[in-house]
Amino acid sequence: MKYIIFNWKSYLNLKQTLSLSKTISNLPKSKKYKLISSPNNFFTLTSNKFFPKNILASQNFDNHGLGASTGSLDISHLVENKIMYSILGHSEVRSNYDENDSYVREKLNLCLKNNITPIVCIGESKGVYKSKITKVFLKSQVNKIFDKSINYKEVLLAYEPLWSIGTGLTPELEEIQEISSYLSEILKNYSFKKINILYGGSVNLTNISDILNLQNVNGVLVGSASTKMDFINYFK
């Protein structure tokens, strides 16, 4: 079973969101793919109301708690509305809101307490990639986010090179394979009920099947391509 996350970011209006959601809800049941849609947070509940069978992820939440926090999205709002997944530490959230690995770690722990399955994003910059220190960088991210003394439930870890997101560039297949194997190796130092490694960054109709065929890659996190109907129909 491969996880396919559709991250619609802020690309779509409500009508477009519902139209893609409808297509997803009409896809035949598949044992090959688990499709999870992540509409803009503002549209998640409407999508859930019209297409309750679709599995949804929040694009983010924060840890300010319930109360006087204008603009916040609390994890209890996800729980209350049965949104079972959340993306954490996406590079756009990291850069737009100065989110760092220790904040991602706090939110990961909130997910654990609240039975929300986290989709944790990590990835190196172009500079790190060019300096050939990607593994060292990713290991330090993993160490900052996960705690050896915690027994995690299900976690999805998305390897998303920052230089690949939204650029049309991807690492070579062999590199994705090598990094996924490396991540699954270092994750053995931690305790998970279930851990799956996904790849994200410029996944599209042309490269998706090769990426999904890689050993140790258990799925993909897809941004702009997933806003197109022909991409959704790939899963027919």
How far CA 13 is from CA of 22, 29, 43, 78, 158, in Å, comes to 14, 27, 8, 21, 26
**Cβ pair 236, 28 in contact under 8 A:** yes
Q: How far apart are the first and last CA of the chain?
A: 15
Minimal distance in Å, beta carbon 72 to ligand PGA?
22
# residues near ligand PGA by CB under 6 A: 13
Closer Cβ to ligand PGA, 24 or 221, answer by number: 221
Closer Cβ to ligand PGA, 7 or 74, answer by number: 7
Q: Binding of ligand PGA at residue 75 (CB under 6 A)?
A: no
Minimal distance in Å, beta carbon 39 to ligand PGA?
14
Q: Binding of ligand PGA at residue 99 (CB under 6 A)?
A: no
- The C-alpha atoms of residue 36 and residue 2 are separated, in whole angstroms, by 11
Catalytic, 160? Answer yes
Closest CA to 92 of 152, 26, 167: 167
Say if strands 2-7 and 191-200 run parallel, antiparallel, or are unpaired. Answer: unpaired
- The C-alpha atoms of residue 21 and residue 55 are separated, in whole angstroms, by 10
Which is the catalytic residue, given 64, 99, 160, 172? Answer: 160
Q: Which of 35, 60, 160, 217 binds ligand PGA (CB under 6 A)?
A: 160
Closer Cβ to ligand PGA, 74 or 222, answer by number: 222
Q: Which of 35, 112, 165, 211 binds ligand PGA (CB under 6 A)?
A: 165
Q: Which of 86, 200, 217, 219 binds ligand PGA (CB under 6 A)?
A: 200
DSSP state string for 31-63: SSEEEEEE--GGGHHHHHHH-TTSEEEES---S
The tokens for 54 are: 């679709």
Say if strands 117-122 and 151-159 run parallel, antiparallel, or are unpaired. Answer: parallel
Closer Cβ to ligand PGA, 55 or 79, answer by number: 55
Residues 6+ apart with CB under 8 A from 105: 144, 145, 146, 147
Q: Binding of ligand PGA at residue 221 (CB under 6 A)?
A: yes
Which is the catalytic residue, given 64, 90, 92, 185? Answer: 90
Closer Cβ to ligand PGA, 18 or 220, answer by number: 220
Minimal distance in Å, beta carbon 89 to ligand PGA?
11
Minimal distance in Å, beta carbon 45 to ligand PGA?
22
Q: Binding of ligand PGA at residue 101 (CB under 6 A)?
A: no
Residues in the site for ligand PGA, rule: CB under 6 A?
A: 7, 160, 165-166, 200-203, 221-225
By annotation, the residues acting in catalysis are: 90, 160
